[in-house]
Amino acid sequence: MKLFVGNSNRILAEAIGKYLELPLGLASVRRFADQEIFVEIQENVRGEDCFVIQSTSYPANDHLMELLIIMDALRRASARRITAVLPYFGYARQDRKAGGRTPISAKLVANLITRAGADRVMTMDLHAGQIQGFFDIPTDNLFAVPLLARDIKEHLDTEHVMVVSPDVGGVVRARSLAKRLDAPLAIVDKRREKPGESEVMNIIGEVEGRHCILIDDIIDSGGTLCNAADALMAAGAKGVRAYITHGVLSGGAVARIAASSIEELVITDSIEPTKAIRDARNIRVVTTATLLGEAIARTTTEQSVSSLFD
């Protein structure tokens, strides 16, 4: 087994390598003067089981091209099997035609990854689970809920906790967390007037006197989360925390979270945290290295990955 990494999240890749007691593979990923990407695998990979760890986060297109070119280099070097490990799968929010004459970009990216040489894909908390069907190769969608539930139990008294889904689409994820915490569930019903903006309409569930935990897969601008937190506080919640898998946090999101009524935002390192995120007073990062490392180990030894979540 060999691990290779692009430039998107080297810190996470090194942590995975440490868990597996395996050094990262020798590879050079660099750019020419015109920003064209060049990859050189600097060790023998013939007949090896290779894992390429690369989140397609900002800048998404650069990191996606790095992933494709690394896999192409490994395929041409006669690697036995290539697994694309994407802690964060970019373009996942474009999983259907949102209007006339619009693309399904998640399917296009899935095709690119497959054609570049991937024999298997491993990712985490896909925005829509059906994206697994966009790939014509085996795809493992790992879940961060067990990891987040463990962190909640370590930092909070779960007796008065209520799990809250910030929208109807996230109810399955919220219910899974609520079951692990033996906590009740509430839902924020919102109406989105236009992309990037959300208006909270109603809260389904009794949140008064509860410590509310918002859970979602992605936080981008932070508007939805902040609006939901304000609505929960207005409904009598004692406090609001948020647990999100992928901290995209674009634009002024970090400042928006810092100024909001959210006590603490907990994200994973599926996307490498920026300096602003690391310095934020109410944002904390938990690592997914153990989860991803164990899934990689089970894949290479042909053991069950789904049993990780039993």
Cis preceding-peptide flag for 103 (omega within 30 of 0): no
Q: What is the rounded average pLDDT of the residues 136-148?
A: 97
- Is 17 annotated to bind a ligand? Reply is no
Whole-angstrom distance, CA of residue 19 vs CA of residue 132: 27
Q: What is the mean pLDDT of the chain?
A: 95
CA neighbor of 220 nearest in space, from 187, 241, 195 = 195
- Is 303 annotated to bind a ligand? Reply is no
CB-based burial, 166-205: b 16+ in 10 Å, e otherwise: bbeebeebbbbbbebbebebbbbebeeeeeeebebeebeb
Whole-angstrom distance, CA of residue 293 vs CA of residue 290: 5
Domains of the chain: 2-142 (3.40.50.2020), 145-287 (3.40.50.2020)
Q: What is the rounded average pLDDT of the residues 126-131?
A: 93
- Is 136 annotated to bind a ligand? Reply is no
- Is 54 annotated to bind a ligand? Reply is no
Residue 167 confidence (pLDDT): 87
Whole-angstrom distance, CA of residue 240 vs CA of residue 161: 10
Given a cut of 90, is residue 226 above it in pLDDT?
yes
Amino acid at 168: V
Given a cut of 80, is residue 191 above it in pLDDT?
no
Q: What is the rounded average pLDDT of the residues 135-142?
A: 97
**pLDDT tens-place string over residues 58-82:** 999 999 999 999 999 999 999 999 9
Given a cut of 80, is residue 163 above it in pLDDT?
yes
Residue 224 confidence (pLDDT): 86
Q: What is the rounded average pLDDT of the residues 23-49?
A: 97
- Is 241 annotated to bind a ligand? Reply is no
Contact, 203 vs 233, CB < 8 A?
no
Q: What percent of the chain has pLDDT over 70?
A: 96
CA neighbor of 112 nearest in space, from 145, 90, 140 = 90
Q: Which band of pLDDT confidence, cut at 50, 70 and 90, is reported for residue 168?
A: confident
CA neighbor of 176 nearest in space, from 188, 167, 163, 189 = 163
- Is 269 annotated to bind a ligand? Reply is no
- Is 127 annotated to bind a ligand? Reply is yes
Whole-angstrom distance, CA of residue 104 vs CA of residue 109: 9
Residue 310 confidence (pLDDT): 81
- Is 216 annotated to bind a ligand? Reply is yes
- Positions marked active-site: 190
- Is 222 annotated to bind a ligand? Reply is yes
Q: Dig out the tokens for 95 from the structure.
A: 């999983």
Show contacts of 272-275: CB within 8 Å, 24+ apart: 272/8, 272/9, 272/10, 272/11, 272/12, 272/55, 272/57, 273/247, 274/249
Residue 169 confidence (pLDDT): 86
